[in-house]
Structure 1
Amino acid sequence: MTLQSPIPDLRGIPPIEHAKHRVGLADVLTDEGFRLFFPLAALHAALWPFLWIAVQGYNLLGATQITSSVWHMHEMLYGSFGAALIGFLTTAFPEWTDTRPMRGRVLWYFAGAWGVARVIGLLGADLLTPLAALADLAWLGGLIAYAVWISWTKRTDRLLAFIGWLAAFALAEAVTRGWMISGASFEAAQAVKVAGLIFLGMLGLALARIGVPVTNLVLDPTEQTSPFRPHPGRLNLASGLVAVAIAGQVAGLSEAVNGWLLVAAGAGLLDRVGEGFVGRDGRRAEIVALWLPPALAGAGLLWLGAGQLGAPLAPAGGWHLALMGGLGLAVLAVMSIAGLFHSGHTLPVARPVKWAIGVMLASVMVRLAPELGVIDPFLAHLAASILWAAAFGLWLVAYWPLLSDPATLGKHEGC
């Protein structure tokens, strides 16, 4: 499959008809949320971590009270992954409920609010945290309002679970920013870790929605049958166990109890790996991209849980395995698969996506090396940021011609 769709040949078309085919780039990018926000997510993920380490030496210029690690974790969750979340949900919500997609100027409003916070986050500007908080809460509130409006007008409950998780994610943002504004770095770190767990809960929910149709399409490209039908109990198991772990963190339970809850949540995510056992086709990149994220996320939570139960494991390793590995690969997979379907293409994904998956895995392994005492931390962080940037750069080079092509407007294939 070739990702780049040909631009329509307008030669020989009368001038009036020729004008009708002229669609500006801004119009193409705001036709649906994924066209604008998937590239923004890739750009942020590729550039921000590298600039933090290579240019600012991981000591953000504006961070005077809040540690750079808190800014880093927050910006990856609400920046890179947040943009992918906006693109995915503003595209998926209309599809799941048979409503008109959000498009045009309102998407620029979302991008503007998201972008203001990201510029502030690039420098870790503590003094501008109130403005960044308002900007992030604006797009989060907009997503929630959008989902509520669709649910009310369509009289559907299909989006209620996502509304609940989005509300929790917004609440975690408000709490995190509140601590950041007050200069309480430790408390802000604890709050943003809860936000990371919330995003893992949304990951489990999203994979439950997209995993079945994608797997069935891989197994039967004709879409005449549905050979893959997972056990219904798996649909919400991972998200439910993550929610219990979050409740334990918020309630301030003992370290040992929270450790066991994290182990249980990790096991729930690892359970999703079983959905990749579909025979020979389980080796396909599209299937691997669906079971590998919960595998890494689950392993990360097991790491964290074991550490709280006394194992000699540094928490940073568990968080990076769960969020950098699990969420990072999940974002790459969702952008790759949804980017194809909503631009008139279908599986398989192109070779650059397979390369990107491999490069991202290498990035995660390099980042974990210092936690195991294998390599100098700064060199590992720099190398990991370069590999991470390369993974998202490969995706962007492959998908930009597709997402920006007017010829793909109004087309939808696959799931």
Structure 2
Amino acid sequence: MSRLLNIEEASARTAPASPSMAAFLALGFRPLYIAGAGWAVISIALWIFTPQLLGAPLTLVAWHAHEMLWGFIITIAIGFLLTASATWTGFNPLHGRPLAALCVLWCIARIGFLVGGLTGFWIATAAELLFFLGAAIALGRVMFKGRSRRNYGLPVLVLTLGAADLLYLLAALQGNYPVLMERFDLGLIGMAVVALLIARRVIPFFAMRMVQGLQIPMLVRSGHAQMAFSVLALAAGVLVQITGTPMTPGSGPHALPLVMAASLAVTGLISLGQLACWKPQAVLRKPMLWILYLGYAFIGIGLLAAAWQFSNLFDPAILNGVLIRSATHVHLIGLAGFCILIIGMLTRTALGHLGRPLALDRSMLAGHWLMVLAALLRLAALWPSAASLHLLHLAALAWILSLGLYLWRFVPMLIRPRPDKPSPIAASKKTAAIQPAQAR
């Protein structure tokens, strides 16, 4: 485990070097963390405060959902994978001009979907699909080159996320809202597979590294079961789309949605069971760790809420219909789950890969709390009340402040070389020469 997820951590700090394009494009997390976090700030501000600026055909809720999942959450995940795969395999999948080209494709997609018009939409769609294809090819190349067998499925998962993106965009173009949300759920579940796979590996590792004497079981069998049931849920969701099985509340239970719901419920229960085995009481005084535990917990809870909705076994009047709204499981998994997990991973992995001390300063800790506050306020706003709109605005402000603080604190570090590695590309080549045998 320690070899698989070795993240170099240096406490020695020297005078900061000048910004460097070579450093900025040395590893995938540097430009993609900045791009993803920056876009998350901009897109939420647009969605909440100036939605009239969003242009057709990807408008309002369709644009917001797409940009949060594919434009932010999945972008951060790919930035992490492009970085972690260098450690797992000993080979850097992308740096320099190829990484810059991937980032340009990402920027074209964001601009095209925002500007609107059919021409902009298709240009953005093509750029986004090429982004996923390029990332998958880069990951696949180093996984096979480094013989990292346990990670062979990751490029396939990235391609799956790209395919779900295309299906979603086609539904948006047709203006079919029920189908649009079903395809959004496919992307959400696909991302959950990736998030659970990554988090189940890194959270126990980080915890044991930071808490002296802490021992956490590997839980290999439950991990395999978790992956099997989450992939089964994803496969059932795909078959729902192919067969046109209705999944709207009140339509009654159907075989495929029931399989999907049962699989999600088991996946969620396994996730919460794993969390209990990770000794959460041992990390309560470690903000860099409890933020990860909390995000993982919300993913498990959100999967149970999704199972509740997809099963269609319950009366829509229960709890005023809140539990069967798509927005409930979407925000439990996407905001309270993925995004709380992301703010913790953005901080922890950036500090580790930048050779910085693994300690939170006040701005970083404030960013963690603000993201938790944003999630809680957004969930509270789901309950119909006179305060819903005010809660929504407060959630947006907390979100913007959280990620704004991250950018303010980390951008100066992300555009500079590591203090202990002034030539990042040379260092990554050196790492590739000595690590592949131990990274498998």
TM superposition score category, shorter chain reference? 0.7 to 0.9
- Do 1:129 and 1:181's aligned partners in 2 also have CA atoms closer than 8 Å? no
RMSD: 2.8
Q: In structure 2, what is the equivalent of residue 62 of structure 1?
A: 55
- Whether 1:110 aligns to 2:102 is yes
Task: Deviation per CA, 1:279-310: give whole Å up to 9, x if none.
Answer: 53343112212211121112122223223331
The DSSP-based 3-state class of the residue aligned with 1:388 is helix
Find the aligned partners of 1:147 and 1:91 in 2 and give their Cα distance: 10
User: Match of 1:168, as an amino acid?
Assistant: T
Greater Cα shift, 233-242 or 110-119: 233-242
Cα shift at 1:112: 0.5
Cα shift at 1:184: 3.4
Q: In structure 1, what is the equivalent of residue 435 of structure 2?
A: none
- Do 1:5 and 1:405's aligned partners in 2 also have CA atoms closer than 8 Å? no
Cα shift at 1:404: 2.4
Cα shift at 1:278: 5.4
Find the aligned partners of 2:108 and 2:369 in 1 and give their Cα distance: 32
Task: Deviation per CA, 1:252-301: give whole Å up to 9, x if none.
Answer: 26244443333223223323322441553343112212211121112122
- Do 1:71 and 1:124's aligned partners in 2 also have CA atoms closer than 8 Å? no
Structure 1 unmatched runs, 5+: 9-20
User: Match of 2:110, as an amino acid?
Assistant: R
- Do 1:197 and 1:246's aligned partners in 2 also have CA atoms closer than 8 Å? yes
User: Match of 2:184, as an amino acid?
Assistant: V
User: Match of 1:262, as an amino acid?
Assistant: L
User: Match of 1:319, as an amino acid?
Assistant: V
- Do 2:11 and 2:355's aligned partners in 1 also have CA atoms closer than 8 Å? no
Greater Cα shift, 188-197 or 265-274: 265-274
Q: In structure 2, what is the equivalent of residue 142 of structure 1?
A: 134
Structure 1 residues 63 and 94: alpha-carbon distance in aligned structure 2, compared to 1, 3 A threshold: same
User: Match of 1:63, as an amino acid?
Assistant: A
Q: In structure 2, what is the equivalent of residue 14 of structure 1?
A: none
User: Given the alignment, which residue of 337, 343, 348 partners 1:337?
Assistant: 348
User: Match of 1:338, as an amino acid?
Assistant: T
Give the total of aligned pairs: 393
User: Given the alignment, which residue of 308, 313, 317 partners 1:309?
Assistant: 313
Task: Deviation per CA, 1:290-341: give whole Å up to 9, x if none.
Answer: 2111211121222232233314322212211111111111221211111011
Cα shift at 1:46: 1.4
User: Given the alignment, which residue of 214, 218, 227 partners 1:239?
Assistant: 227
Find the aligned partners of 1:187 and 1:4 in 2 and give their Cα distance: 53
Q: In structure 2, what is the equivalent of residue 373 of structure 1?
A: 384
User: Match of 2:45, as an amino acid?
Assistant: F
User: Match of 2:154, as an amino acid?
Assistant: F
Q: Percent identity?
A: 22
Q: In structure 2, what is the equivalent of residue 25 of structure 1?
A: 20
Residues 185-264 of structure 1 mapped to structure 2, 5 A cutoff: 185-220=177-212, 227-252=215-240, 254=254, 255-264=257-266
Find the aligned partners of 2:67 and 2:54 in 1 and give their Cα distance: 15
Structure 1 residues 155 and 262: alpha-carbon distance in aligned structure 2, compared to 1, 3 A threshold: closer
- Do 1:140 and 1:170's aligned partners in 2 also have CA atoms closer than 8 Å? yes
Q: In structure 2, what is the equivalent of residue 53 of structure 1?
A: 48
The DSSP-based 3-state class of the residue aligned with 1:100 is coil
Cα shift at 1:134: 0.8
- Do 2:219 and 2:274's aligned partners in 1 also have CA atoms closer than 8 Å? no
Find the aligned partners of 1:261 and 1:376 in 2 and give their Cα distance: 35
Cα shift at 1:365: 1.6
- Do 1:265 and 1:298's aligned partners in 2 also have CA atoms closer than 8 Å? yes
- Do 2:27 and 2:92's aligned partners in 1 also have CA atoms closer than 8 Å? no
Cα shift at 1:155: 3.3
Find the aligned partners of 2:417 and 2:145 in 1 and give their Cα distance: 31
Structure 1 residues 372 and 157: alpha-carbon distance in aligned structure 2, compared to 1, 3 A threshold: same
Find the aligned partners of 2:222 and 2:369 in 1 and give their Cα distance: 27
Greater Cα shift, 79-88 or 183-192: 183-192
- Do 1:272 and 1:291's aligned partners in 2 also have CA atoms closer than 8 Å? no
User: Given the alignment, which residue of 159, 166, 174 partners 1:167?
Assistant: 159
- Do 1:50 and 1:389's aligned partners in 2 also have CA atoms closer than 8 Å? yes
Q: TM-score, normalised by structure 2?
A: 0.81
Task: Deviation per CA, 1:93-120: give whole Å up to 9, x if none.
Answer: 1110111352111111111111111123
Cα shift at 1:42: 1.2
Find the aligned partners of 2:117 and 2:345 in 1 and give their Cα distance: 31
Find the aligned partners of 2:352 and 2:278 in 1 and give their Cα distance: 21
- Do 1:369 and 1:375's aligned partners in 2 also have CA atoms closer than 8 Å? no
Greater Cα shift, 262-271 or 25-34: 262-271
Find the aligned partners of 1:4 and 1:377 in 2 and give their Cα distance: 48
User: Match of 2:46, as an amino acid?
Assistant: L
The DSSP-based 3-state class of the residue aligned with 1:372 is coil
User: Match of 1:246, as an amino acid?
Assistant: L
Q: TM-score, normalised by structure 1?
A: 0.86
Find the aligned partners of 1:372 and 1:3 in 2 and give their Cα distance: 46
User: Match of 1:309, as an amino acid?
Assistant: L
Cα shift at 1:375: 4.2
User: Given the alignment, which residue of 381, 387, 396 partners 1:385?
Assistant: 396
User: Match of 1:44, as an amino acid?
Assistant: W
User: Given the alignment, which residue of 270, 279, 283 partners 1:268?
Assistant: 270
Structure 2 unmatched runs, 5+: 1-8, 246-253, 429-438
Greater Cα shift, 362-371 or 302-311: 302-311
The DSSP-based 3-state class of the residue aligned with 2:185 is helix
Cα shift at 1:226: 7.6
- Do 2:11 and 2:357's aligned partners in 1 also have CA atoms closer than 8 Å? no
- Whether 1:90 aligns to 2:82 is yes
Cα shift at 1:250: 2.1
- Do 1:300 and 1:318's aligned partners in 2 also have CA atoms closer than 8 Å? yes
Find the aligned partners of 1:379 and 1:214 in 2 and give their Cα distance: 37
- Do 1:37 and 1:83's aligned partners in 2 also have CA atoms closer than 8 Å? yes
Structure with the larger RCO, 1 or 2 (CA within 8 Å, 6+ apart): 2
Find the aligned partners of 1:347 and 1:124 in 2 and give their Cα distance: 42
